[in-house]
A = this chain, B = another copy of it.
Amino acid sequence: MKALELFFNPRGVAVVGASSRPGSVGYVIVDQLRKRFRGKVYPVNPKYSEILGLKCYKSVEEVPDPVDLAVIAVRADLVPNVMESVGKRGIKAAIVVSGGFAEVGPEGEERQRRLVEISRKYGIRVVGPNCIGVLDNHSGIDTFFLPEDRLKRPPKGTISIASQSGALLSMWIDWMAMKGMGLSKALSYGNKVDIDEVDALDYFIDDPNTHVILMYIEGLKPGRGQEFIKMARKAIAAGKPVIVLKGGRTRKGFAAAASHTAAMAAGYEIYRAVFRQVGIVEVDEMEEMFDVAKAFTMLPLPRGDRVLILTNAGGEGVLATDFAERYGLNVVDMPKEVQEELRKQLPPHVVVRNPIDLTGDTDDERYRIALETVLKHGAVDSVVLIAPPHPPAMTGAVVKYARDCMDRYGVPIVAVVTGGVIAEEFARKFEEAGIPAYGSPERAVKALAAMVKFAKAKKKASSSQSLS
């Protein structure tokens, strides 16, 4: 059984430190589980006999079957004793939400050492300590201890996230909810005494609800590098992109990360080299991570690196071309027969190279002609479709044309829609049709380039997996 199975899919959960005080960590966790989790929930606290309508137990040892997971939210100094009870009760998985361990200095380190000792003695797998734990939109597990009026939960989806920072993870969750991006599972392992990035990958690889894997990594635990590489390769071979945001890339960032989460296995240069070699998609900024994830969840993989930049705004075409070239996309020249066919169908002032510039007086029909002609000839593997919503002759039909072409030719299309309120409405129409839309050409191109990189890495990983 995979290490994380009991965390994401327990039959029952004991919440140690459950509370009836609204807003407290022990209250919110019970409340969220009660509302969302499909298995049994057992509050544990000697002070209460009932919490939120659920029977409350004096100790973990009293909790009945079925129970596979303990969520521990008590003061740090009480955690070792609780872990002993968890072990005695035969529970094999614990999420230690409590802070006050290695992150607070020598005293906490000692406490953390005891926590590890006890968990090993009983064979308990541990998430944490000092973490927000797990959120699973499919099983309903949710230990994120902020109520939904403060922290929204995203809809069910296929993106799973593992993050060394709980705060970042919770902010992203809230952001995804606002954007309507679908989440499968989220995991924050805090001080990482046991469960780590490798376990996360291991689980996500076989999870049918996970298609795209996002990770915020400050540093792997020493000795885990090889396992991480192996798992990442396996994920990629299985067609699941691994998208990483690395914290601690500079000297001072590294120092800040070291004071944030203790373990630091290697300098950034090594990570960077590994990411490249393995085919992990490294992103530079947090917003880019979601731009990229969005493309992966909506589009077929490009079959190669040739891209068409189709615009009606010369300047946006230029910026898209700059970024395409910088990020390794091939802004191929249009074959002569394509140019000739376009020439015949489009007004003389339209530029039929690449970018194709339909110019400011375009209508939807020009977009249809350009898409159809280029894709029919198999001249590119992807399209950056720059479609400003402002020209009066643009009715929005371009959305349908793009969708239709994507279906018939299997070529991914990303849309660029820049502007204000009308642009946002137009972008929504693209996304409702399954075409990811971005507010700038730079962001769209980066997302598409990540897909091209992944497609290459997948090919490579698949062939080496089948050899081994």
Contact = CB atoms under 8 A, between A and B. Distances in A.
Contact of A164 (B218, B315, B353, B443): B315
A212 to B, nearest CB: 20
Contact of A318 (B146, B247, B313, B361): B247
A249 interface: yes
Contacts of A300: none
Interface in A289-339: 309, 312-319, 321-322, 324-326, 331
A171 B19 CA distance: 52
Interface string A260-293: 1100000000000000000000001111000000
B419 A314 contact: no
A326 B165 CA distance: 21
A248 to B, nearest CB: 6
Given A174-B422, A260-B315, A285 B442 contact: yes
Contacts of A216: 315
A286 B178 contact: no
Interface size class of A (residues with CB under 8 A): 35 or more
Nearest to A360: B167
B253 A100 contact: no
A86 to B, nearest CB: 24
A266 to B, nearest CB: 16
Given A259-B351, A287-B440, A325-B251, A150 B23 contact: no
Contact of A392 (B146, B172, B388, B390): B146
Can you tell how many copies of this chain the complex includes?
A: 2
Interface in A159-178: 163-168, 170-172, 174-178
A418 interface: yes
A425 to B, nearest CB: 11
Given A253-B321, A256-B317, A440-B287, A349 B103 contact: yes
A49 interface: no
Given A103-B349, A253-B322, A253-B325, A392 B23 contact: yes
B392 A177 contact: no
Contact of A390 (B171, B179, B261, B285): B171
Given A23-B392, A390-B174, A168 B421 contact: no
A423 B151 CA distance: 10
A247 to B, nearest CB: 4
B348 A104 contact: yes
Contact of A152 (B176, B256, B420): B420
Interface of A: 23, 99-100, 103-105, 146, 150-152, 163-168, 170-172, 174-179, 216, 218, 245, 247-253, 255-257, 259-261, 284-287, 309, 312-319, 321-322, 324-326, 331, 348-349, 351, 353, 355, 357, 359-361, 388, 390, 392, 418-424, 439-443
Given A150-B422, A151-B390, A247-B318, 17 more contacts: A103-B349, A104-B348, A163-B315, A165-B315, A166-B360, A167-B314, A167-B316, A168-B315, A168-B316, A171-B423, A178-B424, A218-B318, A253-B319, A256-B314, A260-B314, A285-B443, A286-B319
